[in-house]
Amino acid sequence: MSSQQNSFVLKGNICYSVDSQTVFCGESCYAVCADGISAGVFHELPEQFSNLPVYDFGDSVVIPGLTDLHTHAPQFGNRGMAMDLQLLDWLNTYTFPEETKFADLEYARHAYAMFVRELKQGATTRACIFATIHVPATVLLMDELERSGLCTYVGKVNMDRNSPEGLVESTDNSIADTIAWLEQIEGRYSRTKPMLTPRFVPSCTDELLQELGHIAAQYQLPVQSHLSENQSEITWVKELCPWAETYGHAYEKWGLFGNTPTIMAHCVWCPDAEIELMKKGGVMIAHSPASNQNLSSGIAPAKKYLNDGLKIGLATDLSAGESASILKAMSDAIAVSKLRWRYVDEQTPPLTMEEAFYMGTVGGGSFFGKVGSFESGYQFDAVVIDDHDLVHPQELNVHQRLERIIHLSGQCHVVKKYVHGREIFP
């Protein structure tokens, strides 16, 4: 028997990716949720579901929940400012000082409540989130996320070198705090999970990475970090780890590159050997086009990664990215891929709207299992979008409206949101 609460039907204009090249856009269709799982999308409601409640959203557009594969909760307060520097100077000047404040639980409570509210109100249903090195504030963030109904992975960040006072740990403390954090949250949540989070190679000694590799294996934890984002960063990693063939090998050596599910943010400048290592480990790429632009990092070859069969999804990377919206990340991804085509690689055409939508739904969602689609068997994450402010004198079909929702998302409103069949917003 289906539990009534998690079994229902949404009626509206329903869109989802069938594959990376095809978006199904059905006018006035029925999306069926049975026990939190999608039972498919239909033009006519099948008899077997006729006993379920139907929530009719009229002319609104219903899309799968979006996945943000990489963002920094403590940087929320810095969004939309401090973007005049490149990565390493930007970290030292703006980002590390802000993160240092999360030693203060009252500041963390205030700031994290704002971050979670923003995430809850938007179209994102799943996210992989960096906290800071501070355990109490990280647990507070996880408590808040659990209450929100979103499904997330959260990482206490590890940093034991090249970091300012207040944001650096001894190697021993970094490990001890990580284990204390894992023990403190064990059994505490149903939708909020821990993820090991070495910040990036410049802020983690080999000894720390080695221990984190052991913890990943022992606790079977996923891993998230940054990779080949900026050229000065890559040069620095070569100096710090002269033994490593590529930046990626400096994680791989310690079992942090696909031994457990792994996300690497950015991947702007990956050499072929590093791309091969990502393929071998099934490492998922978090593409953040806004961050690539704001920090003048370069433009990640997202289309090439997609064509080559690498795992890839979209990310906001607050506050290097200025917006918490994955719809905006889709729009940005398309735009920067056109600049890359013109200026960097004429052999690789730009991303299509279908590909960007796929990355923001099924692509990133796959990190969470069967997530990001309304095809039968997927966890039912749905976002109902009201686009009536995007007025138009001509007739538009649902596919055209979806394209405008992506590129003009700031003028659209989320009116309802479900995660795994559970209504979480408003």
Residue 205 Cα to chain centre, angstroms:
26
Helices (H), 344-422: 353-358, 364-365, 398-407
CB of 225 to ligand GUN, least distance (A): 8
Q: Is omega for the bond preceding 426 within 30 degrees of 0, making it cis?
A: yes
Residue with tokens 């499904």, as numbered in its chain: 151
Q: Does 317 bind Fe ion (CB under 5 A)?
A: yes
Q: Which option in Fe ion, ligand GUN, none does residue 87 bind, with CB closer than 5 to 8 A by kind?
A: ligand GUN
- Is 355 near Fe ion (CB under 5 A)? no
Min separation Cβ 319 and ligand GUN, Å = 8
Asked if residue 387 binds Fe ion (CB under 5 A), the reply is no
For the CB of residue 200, give the shortest distance to ligand GUN in the complex, in Å. 4
The answer to whether 98 and 78 are in contact (CB under 8 A) is: yes
Q: Is the CB of residue 350 less than 8 Å from the CB of residue 304?
A: no
CB distance 174 to 209 below 8 Å: no
> Are 72 and 103 within 8 A, CB to CB?
no
Judged by CB under 5 A, the number of residues near Fe ion is: 2
Q: Is 332 in the site for Fe ion (CB under 5 A)?
A: no
87: which 2 tokens?
A: 């990565």
Residues 6+ apart with CB under 8 A from 58: 12
Q: Which is nearer to ligand GUN, 200 or 368 (CB)?
A: 200
Q: Taking CB within 5 to 8 Å according to partner kind, which of Fe ion, ligand GUN, none is near residue 199?
A: ligand GUN
The minimum distance between CB 386 and ligand GUN, in angstroms, equals 32
DSSP letter for each residue of 201-255: GGGS-HHHHHHHHHHHHHHT--EEEEES--HHHHHHHHHH-TT-SSTTHHHHTTT
Q: Which of 223, 173, 179, 217 is nearest to 201 (CA)?
A: 223
What does the alpha-carbon distance between residue 26 and residue 14 come to, in Å, rounded to a whole number?
A: 5
Q: Are 9 and 39 in contact (CB under 8 A)?
A: no
- The binding track of 261-300 with respect to Fe ion, each residue x by CB under 5 A or -, is ----x-----------------------------------
Sites for Fe ion among residues 246-265 (CB under 5 A)? 265
- At closest approach, how far in Å is the CB of 96 from ligand GUN? 9
Interacting partner of 211 out of ligand GUN, Fe ion, none (Cβ under 5 to 8 A depending on kind):
none
Q: How far is the CB of 155 from ligand GUN (least distance, A)?
A: 12
Question: By C-beta, is 60 or 316 nearer to Fe ion?
Answer: 316
Return the number of the residue (332 or 381) whose C-beta is nearest ligand GUN: 332
State the amino acid at position 134 in one-letter form.
H
Amino acid at residue number 167? L
Exposure string for 291-310, b = 16+ CB within 10 A, e = fewer: bbbbbebbbbbbbbbbeeeb
**Nearest approach, Cβ of residue 118 and ligand GUN (Å):** 18
Q: Does 354 bind Fe ion (CB under 5 A)?
A: no
**Least CB distance from residue 88 to ligand GUN, whole Å?**
9
Considering the complex, what minimum distance in angstroms separates the CB of residue 356 from Fe ion?
20
Nearer to ligand GUN, 13 or 291 (CB): 291
For residue 367, the partner it binds in Fe ion, ligand GUN, none, with Cβ less than 5 to 8 A by kind, is none
From the list ligand GUN, Fe ion, none, pick the one residue 332 interacts with, judged by a Cβ distance below 5 to 8 Å according to partner type. none
Residues that bind ligand GUN (CB under 6 A): 72, 87, 91, 95, 199-200, 226, 229, 291, 317, 320
Q: Which is nearer to ligand GUN, 211 or 317 (CB)?
A: 317
Q: Which is nearer to ligand GUN, 229 or 387 (CB)?
A: 229
Is 233 a binder of Fe ion (CB under 5 A)? no
Q: Which residue has the tokens 């980002």?
A: 95
Q: Which does 153 bind (CB under 5 to 8 A by kind): Fe ion, ligand GUN, none?
A: none
From the list ligand GUN, Fe ion, none, pick the one residue 200 interacts with, judged by a Cβ distance below 5 to 8 Å according to partner type: ligand GUN
Mapped onto helix, strand or coil, the DSSP state of residue 280 is helix
Alpha carbon distance, N-terminus to C-terminus of the chain: 28
| Cα(409)–Cα(147) distance, integer angstroms | 26
Q: Is 34 or 129 the residue whose CB approaches ligand GUN more closely?
A: 129
CB atoms within 10 A of CB 328: 24
Q: Which residues bind Fe ion (CB under 5 A)?
A: 265, 317
